[in-house]
Structure 1
Amino acid sequence: AGQNFSLTIRAQDVGGNDVLFSGPVTLTDNTGTLTPTSVTFSNQAFVTISTARIIKAQSNVVINASGSAKPAQSNSFNVTHAALDHFDVTNTSGGNVGSQVAGTNFAIKIVARDAFANIVTSFNSSVTLTNTTASITPTSSGNFTNGELASLTVNITKTSSADAISVSGGTPTRNGSSNNFAVNAGALADFRIANISSPQIAGVAFPLIVTAVDANENTVTGFTGTVSISVTGGGISPNASGNFINGVWNGSVSISNAGAGRIITVSGSGFNQDSNPFTVNAGVLDHFVIDPPITSPQSAGQNFSVTVRAKDVNNNDVLHNGTVTLTDNTGTLTASSLVFANQAVQTITNARITKAQAGVVITASGSGKAVQSNAFTVNPDLLHHFSITNTSGNPIGSQTAGTPFNIRITAQDQFNNTMTGFVQTVTITDLSSPPINITSGAFSAGVLTSQSITILKARTDNQLTVSGGVPPVNGMSSLFNVNPAALDHFTIDPITDQATSAPFTITLRAMDANENIVTSFIGNVSITDLTGTITPTNSGAFIGGVR
């Protein structure tokens, strides 16, 4: 398979004598992979090609040659596989490996193949196995039989959302990998508590991260229960976790009593787990507040001030040492951290949000404490550009000349926020010659949800440009093709006066209704003239819509 061989086709008369022949001969075979697919005789009795090539391994292969309505068939012969090129790793049915459970056996199939996907039946050795998490057993297979290992039982102990099994073997070494598949955790076997830093401050919340694990220390993402929480030497709040999310409870707790060697214990589903010992010091900080309230509205991309105050349990300002970080529910806030150095109040002036949104809330977090600001609105910045897509918001696909299609245009600021106040019209042009020039309908809340466009001229890599606004701004679509419409008529390039019986050249073109060349037309047309003496009367096949 894949190797060139010689093939000779002879033209013969009814008595088996070689005859001179001119014309094409098509070549096919019963594997469907023979190349080339044709040869051309030019006043020859036989043609020999040395580059015949079949890539599918098969017994009883037969080559068929056909030209001038005369078929011929070769002897049958066998095509064997090529050298080992790679391995396929699948389930035992030859499909994708499905989701698995960590620590649970499952079976795979491994097939040795050549570069053309033929089974290398001569491969009867073993291969080594690895996986993405380096937790597969065994790491070496048994021997293949006729190029296949029909069923190999393996076990993977580590979870992954996109694990894959890789195999290596042969001389020289060849490789192969399975599809990506999930390895999910096994049954709940225990809990783990993340290391707790020491010291902590009495009455001050600090993080407590509890993870549900299986027998192989994988997070049991399906565990959504709760655990009870207790501590040595005093009280803890809360004394029960919330529901785990994806096998993890990422919460916070506070301890009322100071002391050394405190140990937190979590209990649930018949399992108990202790934390590391840590110290709880007396403390004063209770919470933070954001005050004064943040002014509404703000403008996207414009700096504003945020002031954070440290408070005790009775809401008095307290001196504090530590860092407070700011986040928001738009995901676009940038701001300096507020560093308290024996201070009760810290203000920054470079808070900046780039996403326009109502109900924006800033969260200030530090020392295990978090507080939210008042809700406020962030309005878009100035008109910056237009976004041009199809009506689903995706890039514009290929279109047909003369056929209307609809686009969606959105007025946006520099941060891609919709300019809801934009309600004007825009001008739409393209790269065709001559270009379209369309005035759109009026926008509504910054969006023109559907604008009909008709482009008459076929073009590769066309692009729409939208202009509008005061001062004017532009926007461009992705590149897209405008293909010719259906065949409408043929044209003949102008012909000069000709002499009788003297050959001359004509050029025929297949055209759509908009005078675009229909490049997909590869048929033949008949040719006539007013004298009735023109030859030939058939054009032969068009190429790219032209003959």
Structure 2
Amino acid sequence: MRIARPRLRLQRSLAAAAMALAMLAALPPTALPATADTNPIVTENAQPGSGGWGLSKLADDVNGQIKGYGSASSVTQGGSISLYVSVNPAQTYTVDVFRMGWYAGSGARKRLHAGPINGTTQAACAPDATTGMIDCGWAAGYAWTIPSDWTSGVYLTVLTNAAGYQNYVIFVVRDGRPASFLYQWGVNTAEAYNDYPNDKLTGKSLYEFNSYGANTIAGTRRAVKVSFDRPFTGDGSGDFFRWDVQLIRWLEKSGYDVTYSTDVDTHANGSDLLNHKAFFSAGHDEYWSNEMYNAAQAARDAGVGLAFFGANDVYWQVRYEASAAGVPNRVLVCYKNASIDPVQGATTTVLWRAALLNRPEQRLMGIQYTSEVTSGNNVPYLVTNSSHWIYNGTGFHDGDAVPGIVGYEMDRYMSNYPAPTATSWTLLSQSPFTNTSGVSDYANSSIYQAPSGAVVFATGTMSWSWALDNYRTTAQIDARIQQTTRNLLNAFLLGVPGVLHDLKLTAPTTATAGQPFSVSVTAEDGQGNPVPSYSGTVHFSSSDTSTGAVLPPDSTLTNGQGSFSVTLTRAGPQTLTATDAANKLTTTVNLGVSAQSAGTLVLAPASTTPTAGTAFPFTVTAQDAFGNTDPSYAGTVHFSSSDTSAGVVLPPDTTLTGGKGSFTATLVKAGSQTLTASDTAGTFSATANLTVSPGAATTLLLAPSTMAPTSGTTFSVTVTAQDAFGNTASAYAGTLHFSSSDSAAGVVLPPDSTLSNGQGSFSATLITSGPQTLTASDAANSLSATASLTVSTGAPSAVHDLKLTASSSATAGQMFPITVTAEDAQGNPVTSYSGTVHFSSSDRSTGVVLPPDSTLTNGQGTFSATLVKAGSQSLTASDAANNLATTASLSVNAAAASRLVLAPATATPTAGSSFSLTVTAQDPYGNTDPTYGGTVHFSSSDTSAGVVLPPDSTLAGGERSFTAILIKAGSQTLTASDAANAISATANLMVSAAPASKLTLATATATPTAGTSFSFTLTALDPFGNLA
């Protein structure tokens, strides 16, 4: 609207609303559109509806009993929104949030109740002196996060103060879902007309007629900027109930898949329009930004349908600015006069049809605003071009009228402006009226198809939705307008009737391999009707590319239809496709191809190289002539194999399931083998050729070339790795180690070796005659094999040397055994030896006992010897006559200690001076006993004060050094004793006096006579009183 007078608001009492709902309920149910499958809108509207969303005690702007606004005009699921609420006087209030829809006629569903909440009286909202913008900047009163189960839609928040006064806050919940239709609620226009506070003193809008107070930069009272941060005047719904609610109720009642947004969202995220079949602009949608216009135009040019269900749409260009708090797109800017707009160019805020912008709205919509009637004085809608597909099924004829739905603002085509670029364009109505200036005018509705194929429809009236649902309207529901709207929405969903849309291919759902069946192809429009004028060429293809499949040649249709014959051969799910590449059409049907009766068996092992002794899987399939599995085959299958070894395991005779069976078999003989499956009726069979691989090696086989090798003579030996079934384990990679019971010098065994293909030949030489063993072992794999041999001496041998065998250690004084053997060069005994053996030793101590000179018996002799000197000793056996000798080294250990030996460093120590001494534990042969563990106690014949003897001590290795101090000069003894072991040792010492340290004088008489001689003695003493 552009005239300077108030708009009349349609207010109805609750009683009138209830009556309208009752009338709606009495009407026949509206059929769901063909494409309305289960979607969030259907699911949501199946929920129980709620009452209590109508306002019973309306707050007003003058008193401000309760008013509020939201932090955003729309919010996503999971996003948060805040309410800014003022109450007068200060009191509590509650918040109830309703989603608007159909809900079986209830019209809404309550999703949230909060409160009571403590409210305050917020500051009055003052206009900016220059722009006239009113930004309330109130403090937030309540906030919440939108749950994920809040379906996209228009939500009304009912604010109720403690005194019962009420007002709305309206917002949209978005879900970003690629629904068929995107509904844009026009918050821009609601804010443009909003003159809160409508107190006839300070309120301002973008219009002169309802702005008050001082003039702005516009030169009049109207503002050039309006803020979203203020309540809507009146009931707070922003005219939602005037045109939007009826369309939303009908859409959701009909089950259309629709999601919701606002024009702010279109401005910010215009590319989102491309995610939908069609975009809806509803009601009064007058104020558009450059970004919005571009987004709608781009969507149309990409094939997205546009529907303008209102009038006076896309009239003024606007810009957005951030709020004082920095929130983007919270200020709407429209100077409406290029001379005062500080921004010049493509975004100057003037009429879209103005020469400066030169983008008249009918280039987008097909029609544009012309004029209006007084609100409440709508005129009839008069039909033209009733043969157009949009009127199909309505019964409309040219000139038919639908009362009361044209107004209050109207659009029409204006020939002095460019028409839309279209492949087809039709004016669907011409409704005459006398406008508010008394001038005769008319309104058009329009539909055109863009080159992209997009359909663009415009009603040319704000009140089209009143014929869809008459909640709070003066009009009546009109089934013909409902059907017209359905036809439009179906065209958005399916394509335009009568225009080639696609090909339809009809075929049976099942066929038999190799047997022909019939298919039909129809060229259809978007509504599924044949297009007789179709002249394209149809090409056939199939997922079945098997030899034997027969498809029709490229063909044309007759009157848009054709029947053809097809033969497929591959059983299972298949597709058949008809394509017209020139017209970019293609259609595909799915069908199931069944196999013919089985004519052969197919045996398929999982591997053609199974391992001996290991079960391997295989399948048997009954197939028809085309290689398809015959699920109906009921024959009995018998199994056989060329491998008849013990341990072979074959399946028993069996039937197949669904023409196929999975089995396992075990073969044991390595090499080429066969496995056969045959039908017991003798009709057919299948054989698989296999190469059985040996299993892992489980044993070694050692085979010498002779079991009686000759001493010193090389003989050959073969080692074979075998699996559990006696097959050579050709893959065996272990390392073999060879050993023998013959450890004589000259024995030659193979080095550690691997086998080649599970086998290897080696050579060995043994020396010692008699029973011997030869072993090949693999410790890592716990495998070994031993051959028992008898080594022969061959021809008699000469004596090569004597061999003396003795223990490596002996104990002094204890007899130990020795053995002497006369050996040949290979270390074998020479039984004919008759020489005399003489024994000698490095130990020549008294007590040594050696064998006497002796002869051997059959080249061998056992003797005993006794050595007494501890330490390394040798024992020699020699035959001087035959120049033979052999020596054995051994270690002689001391016997147990039988005495102690005490050895002072000097036999004449000095009184009072420390002297060293050594104590040794010796066996009877004078050997130090390193194992002695007794405790030695020291004593002395000198018991004078000052004598220092070692404490009781143990010895280390049978010996230890100590120190002692004696005092009394003369003969003394020092004794070391071990009472526990009854052994001791005593050293006789001559203690010398220490140097003189004093003199003593002794007179014969203590009373000599004067002049008379008397005797005295002068003595030199050491410190201990010894005569020095």
TM-score range, shorter chain: 0.3 to 0.5
TM-score normalised by length of structure 2: 0.21
Q: Which has the higher contact order (CA 8 A, sep 6+)?
A: 1
Larger Rg: 2
Given the two structures, how large is their TM-score scaled by the length of structure 1? Answer: 0.36
Q: Which has the higher strand share?
A: 1
**Structure with more of its chain in helix, by fraction:** 2
